Amino acid sequence: MKTFCQLASAYKNMLADEYGYNEDGLRTSKNGIDLCSYDYRGNLLVEDFSMRASDNLYFHYDGNNDILGFTYKGVEASAKDGEYYYVKKLQGDIIGILNESCIFGINYRIGRCWFCER
């Protein structure tokens, strides 16, 4: 079985979020700055619910089950609510996110990352 890079932690303003995964490599927890729960249909992530901010992400896939983007919906209406689309490299790595107006909002930079046989 191949394993791919998994985000272990992320930092914002010197505070950390730690991520947990199950034996299938699916993210099961986010603890720290925020607490999140995850809803899967098979091995596809369909919802990410933030328990502290009460924001939801609903994920969208194409006919081949490749992720396309997500809908962001906060508890209170805000300018962040709406559709977002992933920008991918040719091999499928997500490198950014576009909003509904096709404005490049987030850039991802990945350091050393590779897969290995388990």
78-100 pLDDT per residue, tens: 778 899 999 888 888 788 888 88
Whether 118 shows a pLDDT value over 50: the answer reads: no
What type of residue is 97? Answer: I
**Does the pLDDT value for residue 47 go beyond 80?**
yes
Q: CA 108, CA 99: separation in Å to the nearest integer?
A: 15
pTM: 0.72
- Torsion angle of alpha carbons 24, 42, 98, 63, nearest 10°? 130
Decide the pairing of beta strands 27-32 and 44-50: unpaired
